[in-house]
Amino acid sequence: MSQPAIVSENLTYHYGDLVAVDHISFEVGEGEILGFLGPNGAGKSTAVKMLTGQLLPKEGRATLLGQDIAHHAKQIQAQIGVCFELTNLYEPMTAAENLNLFARLFGVRNFNADALLERVGLGGKGKVRVETYSKGMKQRLMVARALINRPRILFLDEPTDGLDPVSSETIRNIIKEAQTNGTTVFLTTHDMVEADKLSNRVAFINKGKIVALDTPYALKQQYGKRALKAELVGANGQLESREIVMDAPDTAAQISRLFAEEKVVTVHSEEATLEDIFIQITGRGLV
């Protein structure tokens, strides 16, 4: 892993007696995409609020780009971009007015709103009031707003939640492009497939604690089972499916018998999904 862009050390927050985030520690390297996964109420949003300087930790500390967020929030916020889960745009204003406002707050010189809108697939829509936008367009505008200052760290909270496939794909491409340009991405999502596709590593958070943190591949290796799933024609002429576990002592013999004795139609390799692994670790689903 390269030099860490984010370092969380025993980061803790509680609302009264309710512990929302419980001593979480992790690092995110520069240019890395970390998927931050957990069910509702697991502590994801509170963790993001502390990492972006919206909440002061009750215990522990978070260091972003080498500076403690509790003491240098404004210096850090100048270098990060945040895309919130809930749409919080100035809807009576146009898209360009929204972006120009934030460009001035970030002190971006010679800002070109049209170019950024073009980049997120909203070319030619700059002079349209945001209140007339569809949900997908608003979400793309939110992502565009988070990119105004060419952030070194990008926080994305459920960026594709409830979007149509085209909008989701556009946003995924923007995330990949940002990473290519060296941006670190902290991605909070429910979408396991998206997290699997985009993230270099994923962290599972449950009841305020990080319960697993590794690459998707390593997690699948550690927790998942590998199998072959075959479809074959049964004795009565009906299609049947059969599963062969890959790591069993007699796997090779089973495969040989399958092809020798059965009429195989299709064969697929099967591996655990991140959701399977999350359920296996926490005993609960992600919703």
Partner 1 sequence: MNGQMIGALLRKDLVLFFSNRFFALVTVLALVFYAVIYYAMPGTVDETLEMAIYAPNLPPGFFSELEEGGVQLIPMADAAALRQAIQSGEQQLGVLLSPTFAQNLHLGQPETIHLYFAPDLPDEFKELYTLFFREISFMLTGRPLNVTVESEILGVDRGGEQIPYRDRMLPLFAVLILMIETMGLASLITNEVTSGTITALLVTPLRVEGLFAAKGIFGVTLAFSQAAFVMGVTGGLNEQPILILFLLLLGSLLVTGIAFLIASVAKDMMSVMGWGMLAVLVMSLPAFMVLIPGVATQWAKILPSYYLVDGVYQVLNGGWGWGEVGQHLLLLTGFAAAFLGLGVLILRRRFQG
**Within 116-175, which residues bind partner 1 (CB under 8 A)?**
145
Q: Of 8, 45, 52, 170, which lies in the binding site for partner 1, with binding defined by CB under 8 A?
A: 52
Smallest gap, in angstroms, from Cβ of residue 150 to partner 1? 14
Write down the least CB distance from residue 56 to partner 1, Å: 9
- Least separation in angstroms between residue 151's CB and partner 1 is 11
Q: Output the 3-class SS for the chain.
A: CCCEEEEEEEEEEEECCEEEEEEEEEEEECCCEEEEECCCCCCHHHHHHHHCCCCCCCEEEEEECCEECCCCHHHHHCCEEEECCCCCCCCCCEHHHHHHHHHHHHCCCCCCHHHHHHHCCCCCCCCCEHHHCCHHHHHHHHHHHHCCCCCCEEEEECCCCCCCHHHHHHHHHHHHHHHHCCCEEEEECCCHHHHHHHCCEEEEEECCEEEEEECHHHHHHHHCCCEEEEEEECCCCCEEEEEEECCCCCHHHHHHHHHHHCEEEEEEEECCCHHHHHHHHHCCCCC
In the complex, the smallest distance separating the C-beta of residue 104 from partner 1, rounded to whole angstroms, is 4
13 touches partner 1 (CB under 8 A): no
User: What minimum distance in Å lies between the beta carbon of 67 and partner 1?
Assistant: 14
Question: 117 is written with which tokens?
Answer: 């809108």
Q: Which of 66, 104, 233, 248 binds partner 1 (CB under 8 A)?
A: 104
**Which of 89/272 has CB closer to partner 1?**
89
Note whether 97 binds partner 1 by CB under 8 A.
Answer: yes
Residues between 191 and 250 that touch partner 1 (CB under 8 A): none
Minimum separation from the CB atom of position 161 to partner 1 (A): 15
- Considering only 59, 91, 177, 240, the residue that binds partner 1 (CB under 8 A) is 91
CB of 111 to partner 1, least distance (A): 11
**Residue 88 binding partner 1, by CB under 8 A:** yes
If one asks whether residue 106 binds partner 1 (CB under 8 A), the answer comes out as yes
Q: Does 186 bind partner 1 (CB under 8 A)?
A: no
> Would you say 88 or 215 has its CB closer to partner 1?
88
Buried b (16+ CB within 10 A) or exposed e, 93-115: ebbbebbbebbeebeeeebebbe
**62 is an interface residue for partner 1 by CB under 8 A:** no
For tokens 């109420």, what's the residue? 41
Among 16, 18, 107, 269, binds partner 1 (CB under 8 A): 107
Binding residues for partner 1, rule: CB under 8 A, are 52-54, 74, 77-78, 80, 82, 84, 86-93, 97, 100-102, 104-107, 145
